[in-house]
Copies of this chain bind each other. A is one copy, B any other.
Amino acid sequence: MSDPVVTRLAVIGCGLIGSSVIRAARAKGAAGQIAVYDLSPGVRERVTALGLADAVFDDPTKAVEGADLVIFATPPAIIGVVAGQAARGFAPGAIISDVGSVKAAVGEALRAACPDTVFVVPGHPIAGTEQSGPDAGLAGLFENRFTILCPQEDRADAPYLAAVEKLSAFWTALGAKVETMDEKHHDLVLAVTSHLPHLIAYNIVGTADDLQNVTQGEVIKYSAGGFRDFTRIAASDPVMWRDVFLLNKDAVLEILGRFTEDLQALSRAIRWGEGDKLEALFTRTRSIRREVIDAGQESAAPNFGRDKREG
């Protein structure tokens, strides 16, 4: 096996994504040593019990010492604060990155918190599950999924570009396909492909839970009609998603505005009995799933292949 891409990896915040990074790095031999910090004593205990890290710290400054790659995987709103706490420990030349679902706000916070001696390269793997915590991590989570890096556009110096290259090599080693993008565009794209879907799922599950004339028992029993799909996304980590909507407010509200406009038009088509319009939309959307499957981002099996008997 060739030398690991990263000599010492520090993962700050070890939930679903942090622990998946660690598991993938171990499985692929992408990191020599792995250090972990988490604010929660319970999480630190689980990380220790699971044997995920070479060293587990209750102080972020200690955790990042000697690391050539530091990945912040806390809820997005506190990344800047924790980076500020850790900053004294950063090794000169270290790459400082993250996995947050919002990039402009988090990138700004990271750059503000970090000294000039390190290279800040914000990142975001487009992968996850609805589960949380260090036990939920999966070694294969990033396989064939995209990771977006948002290098600073005002830096074209060789050391910075080398840092971007190394971070890209790390994610590639974990099985991901790496793309670069500017932070604002990332936030708009993800508002469409991730933030709005989550908002809508949380909302519809909330609506169904609140009705008077349909009982919660009925909603649960007959959920296989479509509703159950939405409950998966609406089971995602509440704190992380609170942060995403607050930190990417503008893009989310913009895309939500478009969604609402379209929904009003669709509602009017139903009210007016315009079957042709409905059928045309439903035919167009059908072809998009085929493209998602062809792009390797989705299972072709019916119902996601979730029920063995349906396979």
**Which residues on A are within 8 Å of B, measured CB to CB?**
101, 126-131, 136, 138, 140-141, 143, 145-146, 148, 179, 188-190, 192-211, 213-214, 216, 218-236, 238-239, 241-243, 245-246, 249, 252-253, 255-256, 258-260, 262-263, 266-267, 270-271, 273, 275, 278-279, 281-286, 288-292, 295, 297-299, 301-307, 309-310
Contact = CB atoms under 8 A, between A and B. Distances in A.
A307 B140 contact: yes
Nearest to A139: B309
A136 B301 CA distance: 11
A214 B189 contact: yes
Interface secondary structure of A, over-half rule:
helix
A28 B48 CA distance: 50
A228 B194 CA distance: 9
Contacts of A273: 246, 249
Nearest to A238: B282
A101 B224 CA distance: 12
A168 B19 CA distance: 49
A157 B200 CA distance: 47
A133 to B, nearest CB: 12
Contacts of A263: 199-200, 203, 256, 260
B223 A198 contact: no
Contacts of A138: 302, 309-310
B289 A238 contact: no
Q: How many copies, total?
A: 2
Contact of A302 (B136, B193, B221): B136
B266 A234 contact: no
A66 to B, nearest CB: 32
Given A232-B289, A253-B267, A309-B140, A297 B242 contact: no
Contacts of A210: 258, 262
Contact of A249 (B136, B271, B297): B271
A209 B288 contact: yes
Contacts of A252: 270
A66 B223 CA distance: 36
Given A208-B193, A258-B207, A223 B140 contact: no
B297 A224 contact: yes
A223 B292 contact: yes
The residue in A193, A201, A297 that gathers the most chain B C-beta atoms within 10 A of its C-beta is: A193
B283 A238 contact: yes
A222 B202 contact: no
B141 A310 contact: yes
A286 B234 CA distance: 6
Contacts of A216: 288, 291
Contacts of A141: 310
A299 B223 CA distance: 12
Nearest to A186: B222
A263 B301 CA distance: 32
A206 B281 contact: yes
